[in-house]
Structure formats: C-alpha cells, structure tokens
C-alpha cells in the first residue's frame, strides 16, 4: 500500500529501459509529477527454464534465452514481449507507459505500434513514444523530452480526473 515515492501519482511501465544519460529526467518526473517507473518488462521479466546439471551447456543456453532482454527481443513478439508487457501493466496497475524508441534498434522500433495498441486496447493504458539515441544525448535535448512528458502527464491527469 505504500510505494517508494511518498507522493506517488502516476505508476508507469517502461517498455524498454530509459537511456542512462537521461536518468536525471526520471528524477524530475518523480519530483514534479510523482511519476515512477514500476515495471520494466525488458529488464525484469524472466522466462522459465529447467536447470539440468548433467547438461551444463544446454542449461546455459536455456538460461540465456530466458533472460529478460534476450527473451523479449529474440522471440516472436506474441510469445514473450507482448504478453509480458500487458501482464506487467495489469499486475503493477500502471496509468501510462513510456517507450524509449532508440533510433538504431530495428527490433524494438518494429514493435512500437503492436505494444502501444495492445496496452491501450487490453489494459486501457496510453503510451508515450520518446525518440532517443541510447549513445548520443545530443540527439534529443532534455528540454524536448520534458515537453513531451509534460503533455503526457497532462493527459494522465485528465484521465485521472475523469474516472
């Protein structure tokens, strides 16, 4: 019943991890809007695999394919990433989702629409897509990202007031 952020207002899902060079933006979201990322499907949702000590290489291969990022990015979207993201949104009772769209990642870029529509249709959760470059902080300024996030938080506030 009590979260990490004392004045938590918005629970968010991150469809992919936020870039390290924009982590101060996450602090700003928490301070200004009480927004906290409570689920990150690509980093936290493991698949199942069996440990078989008699077959160590097979066990290591199964473990590798069950790790969160590998499971999400190297399997059909319908078998891992999509159902896991929808389940995370439900389990963590999120009000919104963020998709940090790295311009150099064709696997993730191809999934944006599928994930965005599934979250909206199955859970009623809107998704903000933020175009970024995970290696180059000059691709988009922090002010540009803040502007987009402020608009998204206004949308979330309107939805909260209407319910």
Is the pTM higher than 0.75? yes
Distance between CA atoms of 103 and 7, rounded to whole angstroms? 33
- pLDDT given at position 1: 52
The arithmetic mean of pLDDT across residues 87-102, rounded, is 95
* Residue 100 bridge partners (DSSP): 130
What confidence tier does 42 reach under pLDDT thresholds 50, 70, 90?
A: confident
Q: How far is CA 14 from CA 25, 94, 98, 104, 160, in A?
A: 14, 10, 5, 18, 20
Q: 131 with 112: CB under 8 angstroms?
A: no
Residue among 73, 52, 65, 59 nearest 115 (CA) = 73
């Amino acid at each position: 019943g009590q979260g990490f952020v004392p004045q938590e207002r918005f629970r968010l899902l991150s469809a992919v991890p936020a870039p390290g060079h924009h982590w101060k933006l996450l602090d700003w979201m928490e301070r200004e809007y009480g927004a906290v990322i409570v689920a990150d499907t690509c980093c936290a949702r493991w698949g199942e695999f069996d440990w078989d000590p008699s077959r160590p290489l097979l066990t290591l291969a199964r473990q590798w394919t069950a790790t969160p990022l590998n499971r999400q990015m190297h399997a059909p979207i319908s078998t891992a990433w999509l159902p896991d993201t929808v389940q995370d949104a439900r389990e963590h009772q999120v009000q919104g989702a963020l998709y940090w769209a790295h311009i150099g990642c064709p696997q993730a870029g191809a999934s944006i629409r599928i994930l965005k529509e599934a979250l909206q249709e199955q859970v009623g959760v809107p998704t903000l897509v933020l175009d970024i470059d995970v290696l180059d902080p000059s691709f988009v300024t922090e002010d540009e990202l803040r502007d987009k996030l402020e608009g998204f938080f206004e949308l979330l506030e309107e939805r909260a007031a209407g319910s």
